[in-house]
Amino acid sequence: MNKPKLKKPLKEPHSSHSFLSDFILGSQDGLVNVLGILLGISAATGDVRIIFVAAFAALGAESISMGAVAYTSTVARRRQYLKEVDREQTEMKQVPSSEVDEVRNILKGWGYEGDELDEMTNHIASNPKAMLNFMMSFELELAPIEKNEARRSFAVVFSSTIFGSIIPLIPFFFVSSSTIVSGTIASVILSGAVLFFIGASSRQDPQSDLFGGADFR
């Protein structure tokens, strides 16, 4: 018996948080936050020490805050995913016909009809694990979240926030009280260049043009 051909690629949803997305989140937030503080403090004082104290205080607070947000949000997403898994398993036991109909409707939406639709539906419904994964991915459109993902997300966002926060500070290591304005200008230029690079690296289209770095969608 020939297996029916898929009319739609089975692209299972993946967790929206990857290493790259976490790195971009932390580095952009840290960079913009510290740059804003540097612009304000440097306009108010020419004392480089005060500028560094304020910037490093912001760096510490922001990196901890961003890391904590990444951790708690990932834990919440994992709990939500597991809750939906339990609910789906309960429905598969209590109202199996309704769940099979949902599978059928999804496949019908992909273009399956007649015997081919019935065969695909029966293939999936005959395997509880396959049916559960199918419903989680294509009905609820939820991606599994590993147990250690929260710790990984915290580490990446925390470290990338520190990295981003240091970028606008770099020019100030080479200025004195009399050259604060030059340091501020250099900080803005450097920060803008790094933001452009981060934006360009986040683009999914490898054929994007030079100005793709300005896209921060």
Asked if the model's pLDDT at residue 10 lies above 80, the reply is no
pLDDT digits (tens, 9 = 90+) for 21-57: 899 999 999 999 999 999 999 988 889 999 999 999 9
How far apart CA 74 and CA 79 sit, in angstroms, is: 9
Angstrom CA distances, 68 to 3, 57, 152, 161, stand at 48, 17, 12, 12
pTM: 0.74
How far apart CA 183 and CA 26 sit, in angstroms, is: 24
pLDDT digits (tens, 9 = 90+) for 180-191: 999 999 999 999
Q: Which residue has the higher pLDDT, 118 or 216?
A: 118
Q: Which residue has the higher pLDDT, 212 or 101?
A: 101
How high is the pLDDT of residue 12?
47
205 pLDDT band (50/70/90 cuts)?
A: very low
Asked if the model's pLDDT at residue 99 lies above 60, the reply is yes
CA dihedral 60, 62, 67, 69 (to 10 degrees): 150
Angstrom CA distances, 30 to 6, 22, 107, 176, stand at 45, 12, 45, 24
Closest CA to 212 of 167, 204, 25, 23: 204
How far apart CA 59 and CA 212 sit, in angstroms, is: 28
How far apart CA 111 and CA 117 sit, in angstroms, is: 9
Query: Lowest-pLDDT range, 2-6, 17-21, 95-99, 144-148?
Result: 2-6
Query: Lowest-pLDDT range, 16-25, 44-53, 68-77, 196-205?
Result: 196-205
Averaged pLDDT, 69-88 = 92
Burial label for 179, CB within 10 Å (0-12, 13-18, 19+), is middle
Angstrom CA distances, 146 to 16, 41, 44, 77, stand at 13, 42, 47, 10
CA angle 8–16–65, rounded 5-degree value? 175
Share of the chain above pLDDT 70, in %: 85
